[in-house]
Amino acid sequence: MEKNIKVLDLLGPDIRSRSNAGAIEKIINESGNAKCVIDMEGVEFISRSFADELLEICKKSFSVIVNTHGVADTIIKIVSKSRSIRKEKHKGTEKIVKLRDMASLDLYFATF
């Protein structure tokens, strides 16, 4: 069985908050083992944070997103691509300088 979630009817055409994805997640959780299709037809704009949360929900629940277009489609693609890039942690070369008082702070910054 397949559950179709019409995002336009649920959240409207302009979605700007990560928390709005919770409404979709709730429906997915209530649908049990049904395959969920998240239909974005008519959705004009979504924020990066909403797209990120929606993609995480889809990943956990094996749901799919369909009928994206325009800005919403572009945002989904950008966020999806950025989620697939492994972020490397860089060890900084900054050093910690301990200063005794404001005069030594002034002197330290005067050297730049």
State the Cα–Cα distance between residues 60 and 66, nearest whole angstrom. 17
Predicted confidence (pLDDT) at residue 91 exceeds the cutoff of 90: no
The pLDDT, as a whole number, for residue 36 is: 94
* DSSP state letters, 25-58: HHHHHHTTT-EEEEE-TT--EE-HHHHHHHHHHH
pLDDT band at 78 (very low <50, low <70, confident <90, very high): very high
Where along the chain do its domains lie? Answer: 2-110
Backbone angles phi, psi at 50, to 5 degrees: -65, -45
Reading across the β-sheet that carries 2-6, which strands appear in turn?
Answer: 2-6, 35-39, 64-66
pLDDT band at 67 (very low <50, low <70, confident <90, very high): very high
Closest by Cα among 47, 43, 61 to 3: 61
Residue-wise pLDDT for 11-32, tens only, equals 999 999 999 999 999 999 998 8
Predicted confidence (pLDDT) at residue 96 exceeds the cutoff of 90: no
